[in-house]
Amino acid sequence: MKDNFDVDHFVSECRKHVQLETLRDDLELYYKLLKTAMVELINKDYADFVNLSTNLVGMDRALNQLTVPLGQLREEVLSLKFAVSEGIQAIDNRLVKQEDVRKKKMCVLRLFQVIRSVEKIEKILHSQSSRELPSSEKSGPSLAGQMLERIGTEFNQLHFHAVQSKGMPLLDKVRPRIAGITAMLQQSLEGLLLEGLQTANIEIVRPCLRTYATIDKTRDAEALIGQVLVKPYVEEVINEQYVQSRTNGLQEMYARLLDFIPNHCRLLRVVTGGTSSHSAEVIPGYDFSVNSVWPEIVRGLEEKMPSLFNPGNPDTFHQKYTITMEFIRKFEWQCGSQASVKRLRSHPTYMTFNNKWSLSVYFQIRFKEIAGSLEACMSEDLKEAPDSSGYNLLVTHVLWQNLVQCWSDHVYLPSLAHRFWKMTLQLLARYAKWIEELPIVSSSKDFSQGAKSVSANGNSTTSSTSANNEEQGNGLNGAVKAVQCLSVNQLVYVIADLDKIQDQLPELLEIIRPKLEHVGLENFSLISEALADSQSSLVARIPALSDRITEELSESCFSYLKNASEVPRLYRRTNKELPTKASLYVENALKPFHRLQSEYGNVVKDYRMQEWMTGALKNSIGRYYETVSDVLSSVKKMEESLKRLKQARKSANISSIGTNSGNSDDSKIRLQLAFDVESLGERVINSLEEL
């Protein structure tokens, strides 16, 4: 049934699924079904099939009879349509002509109105030029103001009709007269406005400003005020030498600038701001604070105070910027309304003035100061912090000072809040990276060499007396202490500082919160989460440092405990008495722990100390257990060898080797190790209880 049906394509697609024989059988079966259905359809509607040819007899003759009247009807309809179209076109043409006539009439009327207004204004001006001017002066300034208002109203109509008649030849002829009227009107308005301001006469200023508003020249009035009143005052007040010669010169200069509006613009604000006690109406459309005072102040600061925007000295720049922003804030208070403040902030000079401040350069200088001091401290050796600091290392002390400095009142600027926040995170990240890159080199190799040296020097003497064994322990203790001074104490200080700075980060958050909320940040949880991520990064550095301390402690402890392997040498073939107490190495084994606790117990938190000592004890005692087991196994093997030798020499009546008063050397060794293990266990238990 489809137009694009293709037999070959159909067969090629079907053969991918079934064989051709199966496809042929299915198609034959389908053909039979269609044939059967067709026969059933014919049988069902057989009468209609038979009568079909009968019903069509004479149909062509009937159709031919209808052709002629239908053609005539079509001609009549077309003729009527044409007649209606001609009527519509004629009406449209007349309407177009009528509209053209109406427009021309309106243009003529506007031109008449323009000429009438010009003549009326000229008549008023000429009539007042000579004869009526003295009488006006005698009658007071109110009459002149009223006359200007009449002229302004008429001029407004003149301007409206002139704009509507733009392009007309007659208007070009009248235009010089309009320009003369405009110049004369503006000159009169300017003189009258200045006179009213100089004499503080509200009856002159009010109609004058109303006339300016009527003729849509409010900006001209504002510009006049800026040039005549504001500019001389600003040029007198803004003086760079005056500012530099006084401690608070900049603040005093801004205070004098702020005095201008209440002292010199009071009358203008009364007329335009609704602050008058009179019942006269307020004249809208004026904003002298924004359009007259502010541009002249900005122009004066940019021209006569170029050093104001110099960021070379960041402290001076911060002070000037802060004082200036406070001046702007107070100036906005004098605007009188939120709408006026919005107009001020959208004024072109407001934006250009803010862009004059090189905030990015200031931040770069501060960044080099703050980050540079931290980098310089990190490049040096691990120095101790000052006594007045709450930290142990100088680098951590500098880090915290820098974090606080970023948000201090003499460094932070609200306009750079996002950058100082970024620098805060960068400082914390740099500190975490520095800890990660600390050269925590294992000192176990150096320690082992020192222990071996001490042990070798004491071999010849320790076999004779226990006093020499004490001397050996003291020498080994010195080696351990030297290694700890180079490694363990610094690691302890780093971890203690990490714990300290984590505790103080919430304090930093409370310093940051009011400053960010002041600049409009609402979702402070994002700041808290970011600082928590930095805190987690610092915490992640602690396990590696703790493992290194635990390893050092374990190595220091085991450097004594491994002397258990020397016990057989002390008793074999020496005829020593039975041991009655533990060896000296057991007494010295826990000295590294006691020293660490006594020297740094007040530096780190208790659970840190417990964690290190527990881990080190677990490791060193495990190694001690292996050492003692190896010694006992060796003793047992030696004992079995001696027994075999004894059996071999029985026939020669050779006495047993290594006995003393019936006690063998092996028994003495076992007994000594038993004393050592028992004593070590008691010392470990006591140490853990002290923790």
pLDDT single digits (tens) 426-436: 999 999 999 98
- pLDDT tens column, 476-491: 343 333 333 338 888 9
Query: In the prediction, which pLDDT does 275 show?
Result: 53
- Residue 423 is encoded by which pair of tokens? 């620098």
Query: In the prediction, which pLDDT does 152 show?
Result: 66
DSSP conformation class of 292:
I
- Residue 548: CB partners within 8 Å, gap ≥ 6? 440, 442, 487, 491
- For residue 560, pLDDT over 80 is answered with yes
Averaged pLDDT, 55-84 = 84
The helix (run of H) or strand (run of E) holding residue 458 is none
Residue 498's pLDDT band, with cuts at 50, 70 and 90, is: very high
Averaged pLDDT, 514-520 = 89
Partners of 660 in the β-ladder: 663
Phi and psi of 161, rounded to 5°?
Answer: -70, -30
Residue 344 burial class via C-beta count within 10 angstroms: exposed 0-12, middle 13-18, buried 19 and up = buried
Strand ranges (DSSP E) for 93-223? none
DSSP 367-428: HHHHHHHHHHHHHS--PBPPTTSSSSBHHHHHHHHHHHHHTSTTT--GGGHHHHHHHHHHHH
- For residue 67, pLDDT over 90 is answered with no
- Residue 438 is encoded by which pair of tokens? 């600390």
641: three-class secondary structure by DSSP: helix
Rounded Cα–Cα distance for residues 396 and 403 (Å): 11
- pLDDT tens column, 651-688: 555 444 444 444 677 888 888 889 889 888 888 888 87
Other CB atoms closer than 10 Å to residue 471's CB: what's the count?
A: 17
Query: In the prediction, which pLDDT does 429 show?
Result: 94
Angle between helices 606-649 and 665-690 (to 10 degrees): 170
Rounded Cα–Cα distance for residues 260 and 74 (Å): 89
Rounded Cα–Cα distance for residues 496 and 599 (Å): 13
- Residue 572 is encoded by which pair of tokens? 């074999």
Rounded Cα–Cα distance for residues 673 and 561 (Å): 11
- For residue 119, pLDDT over 90 is answered with no
Averaged pLDDT, 568-585 = 84
Rounded Cα–Cα distance for residues 505 and 532 (Å): 9
Q: Are 417 and 515 in contact (CB under 8 A)?
A: yes
Averaged pLDDT, 435-464 = 46
Partners of 664 in the β-ladder: 659
- Residue 426: CB partners within 8 Å, gap ≥ 6? 371
Alpha helices (runs of H) in 562-605, residue ranges in sequence order: 567-571, 584-589, 591-600
Phi and psi of 605, rounded to 5°?
Answer: -75, 155
Residue 409's pLDDT band, with cuts at 50, 70 and 90, is: very high
Query: In the prediction, which pLDDT does 481 show?
Result: 38
Query: In the prediction, which pLDDT does 348 show?
Result: 93
Q: Write down the mean pLDDT value for the chain.
A: 80
- For residue 287, pLDDT over 50 is answered with yes
Residue 165's pLDDT band, with cuts at 50, 70 and 90, is: low
- Residue 293 is encoded by which pair of tokens? 């005072």
Better pLDDT: 141 or 625: 625
Q: What percent of the chain has pLDDT over 70?
A: 79
Residue 149's pLDDT band, with cuts at 50, 70 and 90, is: low
- For residue 21, pLDDT over 80 is answered with yes
pTM of the prediction?
A: 0.68
- For residue 462, pLDDT over 50 is answered with no
- For residue 367, pLDDT over 60 is answered with yes
Residue 169's pLDDT band, with cuts at 50, 70 and 90, is: low
Other CB atoms closer than 10 Å to residue 205's CB: what's the count?
A: 25
The helix (run of H) or strand (run of E) holding residue 584 is helix 584-589
